[in-house]
Amino acid sequence: MRVLVTGGAGYVGSFTVRRLLAAGHEVVVVDNLSTGRREAVRGCPLRMADIRDPAGMGPVFEEFRPEAVIHFAALKSSEESLRDIGTYFGVNVTGTQNVLDLCARTGVERFVFSSSCAVYGTPQICPVDETAPVRPESPYGETKYLSERMIASYGQATGLRYANLRYFNAAGAADDASLGEYAGPAATQLLPVAVRATLGLAPALRIFGDDYPTPDGTALRDYIHVEDLAQAHVRVLEGLDTDERCGPVNLGRGQPVSVRELIDALRHVSEKDTTVTTAPRRPGDPGLSWADPDLALSRFGWRAERDLDHIVRTAWDWHTGTPASLE
């Protein structure tokens, strides 16, 4: 299958590109490299373009004529979205509309969207399944849900088969430490931030909120290994062979992990201590959020295979073996 991957030089995108190539698909990556890395997609054609620029994106679609699109390109920080709402709507919503217009124009048949559990906000019941109310608590979550609705409308109007993958917290790195997450001083993702603190690159790891209604007072999340997540994208793309399979799909391990439990796992793997301080809760951060992943298994035969120890161990090996990943 000819697959165009927007944002394919980013974290989850680059792992998915590897999986697509290994499965025999023909792949072209589109990325503006604002956060992506050229070296993450060596051996795959990379076209520099911005999804906000239809004139720049159009020739890529016209020349490659993709049969399928996996759409990763987006901004992804709930906290940042509160400070820069306009940019988030411009990239995540208008950018997605531009991609969908090009799909309609060039006859793309399948569309896999990198959505987020942020569409649920703070779920009323966990684990959360795809029938749960959608109540985003940040502009970021709102942009993801608006994009989902737009994708569904294009699907209904054009026959585009689609899946909106609501995944939870991507983490980890390749087993051989050949690829992972690049997370510099401005990183907000918990695991790389914790690694930075453990290595002395930051004075301490701040825990935002230790008064949640959880066993240890810290927020509960669902961490999923990036390799499992990449495999899910490929499995879903290949499985979109009927209209009945279209719609939202949760991707997670279905096992809640608290902030303190993740820090303890890092201490175990690294055999080092992590200095921790506490800070008030951040706006837009739910206290409880983990997936019911059963639909992904029943509809596409996918489930996560790697546990928390594997997630933390591969991340630690990647960051310590690749100092540039933390610069």
| Segment-wise mean pLDDT, segments of 10 residues, the chain, 327 residues | 98 98 98 95 96 98 98 94 96 98 98 97 93 95 98 98 97 97 89 95 93 95 98 98 96 97 97 94 87 98 98 98 93
pLDDT at residue number 124:
84
Max CA-CA distance within the chain?
Answer: 55
Q: What pLDDT, on a 0 to 100 scale, did the predictor assign at position 260?
A: 97
- Cα dist from 4 to 11, 86, 191, whole Å: 16, 27, 29
Residue 297 lies in a domain: no
Q: Are 114 and 194 found together in one domain?
A: no
Model pLDDT, residue 142:
97
Q: What was the pLDDT predicted at 287?
A: 87
With CA atoms as reference, report the closest residue to 223 among 194, 186, 245, 203. 194
pLDDT tens-place string over residues 168-193: 999 999 999 999 999 888 888 999 99
Helix (H) or strand (E) run with residue 294 in it: helix 294-300
Q: Containing domain of residue 238, as a range?
A: 2-171+224-251
Q: Indicate if 80 and 25 belong to the same structural domain.
A: yes
129 and 276: one domain? no
Residue 295 lies in a domain: no
- Specify which residues 69 forms β-bridges with: 4, 111
What tokens were used for 247?
């719609």
Strands 26-31 and 2-6: parallel
Residue 195 inside a domain? The answer is: yes
59, part of any domain: yes
Q: Which residue in this structure is represented by tokens 């594997």?
A: 310
101 with 243, same domain?
yes
Q: Which parts of 240-271 fold into alpha helices (H)?
A: 259-270
Query: 148 and 27, same structural domain?
Result: yes
On whether both 146 and 259 belong to a single domain, the answer is no
In a domain, residue 124? The reply is: yes
Answer whether residue 301 is part of any domain: no
For residues 64 and 87, membership in a common domain is answered with yes
Examine the domain organization and report whether 90 and 199 are in the same domain. no
CATH of the domain at 133: 3.40.50.720
Query: Is residue 143 domain-shared with residue 276, that is, in the same domain?
Result: no
User: Does residue 38 lie within any of the structural domains?
Assistant: yes
Flag whether 180 is in a domain.
no
How many domains is the chain partitioned into structurally? 2
Kindly state whether residues 120 and 247 are assigned to the same domain: yes
Check if 140 is active-site. yes
30 and 80 belong to one structural domain: yes
206 and 216 belong to one structural domain: yes
- Active-site residue, selected from the candidate residues 11, 88, 120, 140: 140
